[in-house]
Chains A and B, each alone.
Chain A
Amino acid sequence: MLHELPLSAIPAGDEAVRAEVRAFALAETAGMTPAQKARSWMGFSADFSRKMAERGWLGLSIRKEYGGQEAGFFRRFVIVEELLAAGAPVSAHWIADRQSGPLIQRFGSEEQKQRYLPGICAGQSFFCIGMSEPNSGSDLASVRSRAEKVDGGWKLNGQKIWTTNAPRSHYMIALVRTSGKAEDRHKGLSQFVIDLKSPGISVREIRDLAGDAHFSEVFFEDVFLPDDTLIGDEGSGWAQVTAELAFERSGPERILSSIVLLQGWLDWLRGQPAANPAGVGRMMAHLAVLRELTVAVTARLAAGESPAVEAALVKDLGTTFEQELPSQVLDALAADPAVEPPADLLAAAAYVAQVSPSYSLRGGTREILRGMIARGLGLR
């Protein structure tokens, strides 16, 4: 069901941290070029993540007994907004903080929570997501990596691909088949926390079209997974993944991937005689409305609901905006061949334009999200 998204507000207590986060993020990114900042949540710095943890800005939804802040969704919202607006290199802790930690807290055993959560909250344990495989992209339930029951644990064989940060992560949460056959689809899938130092794992980086190597292939050959690395019961992996994707799709990051470019463009236009007010205003109107929509989705999460379809809707609108922005800015920067915009702004615009197709692939493609919305409308 697609529910209404009423206008909502960020609680004052969570707003209160904004100024401090903004000052920190601006100071930390002062020496970066626009193109570096435009890497947004692909920029990796373990040092930055450690500093975040020292300030109590990681593990916001994790309980105090596991090293978290118990501060809730809106605190994270405010912090993430400021980090992304500044172009801070958040990638190292990003996945652990956003989804692996909350997933373990919700579905993991007591022992697992004690083992993994403190490291996540301290900005010392980095995670990656092992969902996609060469033959399982949108059709995630068709994954073929398979763990067989053996004495004291499981033996895993198979392959993952497009795994962001695998070479730089300590753990992967992987979705694999543990019983039944591919035809059984959602049944017989389970998730494990895999220690990436385990014997039998090899990782190969994949370079992207912009020259970066954020994602990779991961191969498993008779990798032994102890029993206590299975999350929840055998066969409950699909339900976990569904819950996890709702966290993944609902944050402010789904509208802010290219915000650094908007900032650079405005900065440049402010010094130009022939500004482009209608082009600027259109982007700003979109941004203002998208932000209200993400606040409204967050309010639903904070109220304990699971607004999966609404999050998919906002993500699709958000990534459309994120993709239109570089397209418009590139055209605007080239509006007059006699006027040469700054080289670093051009480089940032070109970089964002190159990678922007990925915005509507990662975390579920545009077509898949629209299918979810159609289901929410009662059409499927």
Chain B
Amino acid sequence: MSNMLEDSAKQVFAAHCGGDVVRAIEAGGDASALWLAISEAGFADALIPEAQGGTGLHPSDLGVVLLQAGAAAVPLPLGQTMMVRAVLSEPDTVAGPIAIAAGAAQTTAGLTLRNVPYGRVADWVVAQVSGAWCLLPCADATVTPSAVHGSLAADLQWSELPAATALPDRDWRAVGALVTAATMAGAMQHLLAQTVAYAGDRIQFGKPIGKQQAIQQQLSVMAEQCYAARMAAQLGLSLPDSRDATAVAKSRVGEAAAQVGPIAHAVHGAIGITEEYDLQLLTRHLIEGRAAYGGETYWAAELGRSVLATDKAPLAFVQDMSAGKRLPEAL
């Protein structure tokens, strides 16, 4: 099944987001050329209603783009930007990538947002300040890398409260969790292809390691987890307003990632640990993504509380959730 959106995402990322580009941006390089290519392809405005000059797509349709973004380790908050732009009354006045802050804002001296995913490359950030969700410009913020080597997370600090645009009241952290689940699923899909190919090429004991049953069984487990992750992400995106569906997506994708990353590394041997080999671009994203916007246990507990608050049978609960899903349109 060919999908124009998927093909165009593949093309854009292949042309503008190779491993060298990702490494350069992670090392502090300028991301504006990549962002320009992505916005010119129309992805950033894909969810904006047609009446407001956008493409009017549903997050479900954009799943293929986010999966490809994950596969290419795109070092920008594309999913976050798409989702936020869709609700802005004047999106034309908001240029550049938009991050979503995961934690609570500190408002004691000016404003501080800690460990914002993609904080290093964002022009805007969504945060909950004194209980209200708003969009803040990063221009006047002090940006300090806050996480491990190569991470794009940053602390953002303003000495005075910047001018904020109010956003519709919804749980924007859950939006962050949902799009993170989608890029993680895409990263896993690419890791699977990469690892299967490597197992076919790498010769030890006179034959490809992929001929060894022990390796085959590991790769089968990896494939299973990738399929589960992809389906979880698709389900979540097809129900973007359902907190339960987001909980399913983020917790299941995180659990899959906990297995997929280690198998990818185990099969690659030492080469996979190197900076030079592309594997690490994806496995680092998985580790960071698992923790971003709530981990597996947080989202599982959210879902569990929601289930226990009803008197529904377990199968009826998932059937009812699934019944509302919006299938992606073939574009």
Contact = CB atoms under 8 A, between A and B. Distances in A.
Interface of A: 2, 4-9, 15, 81, 85, 256, 259, 262-263, 266, 269-270, 275-293, 295-296, 313-314, 316-317, 367, 369-371, 373-374, 376-380
Contacts of B319: 81, 291
B315 A281 contact: no
Given A276-B304, A377-B223, A370 B216 contact: yes
Nearest to A7: B234
A26 to B, nearest CB: 10
Interface in B282-312: 296-297, 299-308, 311
Contacts of B321: 288
Given A288-B248, A289-B228, A378-B200, A282 B300 contact: yes
Interface stretch (B81-89, B158-166, B322-330): B322-330
Contacts of B328: 6-7
Nearest to A81: B315
Contacts, number: 172
Interface string B194-237: 00100110000000001101011101110110011011101100
B301 A277 contact: yes
A316 B224 contact: yes
Interface in B233-289: 234-235, 238, 245, 247-248, 251-252, 255
B109 interface: no
Contacts of B231: 5, 7, 289, 292-293, 296
19 contacts: A4-B230, A6-B234, A6-B328, A7-B231, A7-B235, A9-B325, A15-B323, A85-B313, A276-B304, A277-B308, A279-B304, A280-B304, A284-B304, A288-B252, A288-B322, A317-B228, A374-B216, A374-B217, A379-B200
Contacts of B24: none
Interface residues of B, number: 56
B216 A281 contact: no
B220 A281 contact: no
Contacts of B15: none
A370 B217 contact: yes
Contacts of A279: 300, 304
A281 B301 contact: yes
A317 B223 CA distance: 10
Nearest to A276: B304
Nearest to A315: B224
Given A85-B316, A266-B314, A282 B235 contact: no
A257 B302 CA distance: 26
A269 B301 CA distance: 14
B327 A285 contact: no
Q: Interface centre among A4, A269, A291, by most B CB within 10 Å? A: A291
B314 A289 contact: no
A15 B328 CA distance: 20
Nearest to B229: A289
In the complex, the 10 A-B pairs of residues with the closest C-beta atoms, listed nearest first = A281-B304, A277-B304, A281-B300, A281-B303, A374-B216, A280-B304, A370-B220, A373-B220, A278-B301, A282-B300
Contact of A313 (B211, B224, B235, B317): B224
A289 B305 contact: no
A379 B200 CA distance: 7
A282 B314 contact: no
B147 interface: no
A288 B221 CA distance: 19
Contacts of B248: 284-285, 288-289
A313 B227 contact: yes
B219 A275 contact: no
Contacts of B316: 85
A8 B314 contact: no
A369 B301 CA distance: 32
B1 interface: yes
Given A281-B299, A293-B228, A377-B219, A85 B308 contact: no
A8 B221 CA distance: 23
B318 interface: yes
A81 B216 CA distance: 32
A370 B221 contact: yes
Residue of B299, B304, B308 most packed against chain A (CB within 10 A): B304
Nearest to B308: A275
A377 B235 contact: no
B318 A266 contact: no
A85 B320 CA distance: 14
Contacts of A378: 196, 200
A15 B316 CA distance: 13
Nearest to A86: B313
A2 B314 contact: no
A369 B297 CA distance: 30
Contacts of B296: 282
A179 B94 CA distance: 76
A281 B318 contact: no
A285 B247 contact: yes
Contact of A6 (B1, B199, B299, B311): B1
A270 B322 contact: no
B297 to A, nearest CB: 5
Contacts of B217: 367, 370-371, 374
Contacts of B301: 277-278, 281
A283 B247 CA distance: 12
Given A266-B307, A269-B308, A313-B227, 13 more contacts: A7-B235, A275-B308, A277-B300, A284-B303, A285-B252, A285-B299, A287-B315, A288-B235, A293-B231, A295-B322, A379-B200, A379-B216, A379-B219
A14 to B, nearest CB: 12
A128 B113 CA distance: 65
Which of A285, A314, A316 has the largest count of B CB atoms less than 10 A from its CB?
A: A285
Contact of B315 (A5, A8, A85, A280): A85
Nearest to B199: A379
A313 to B, nearest CB: 5
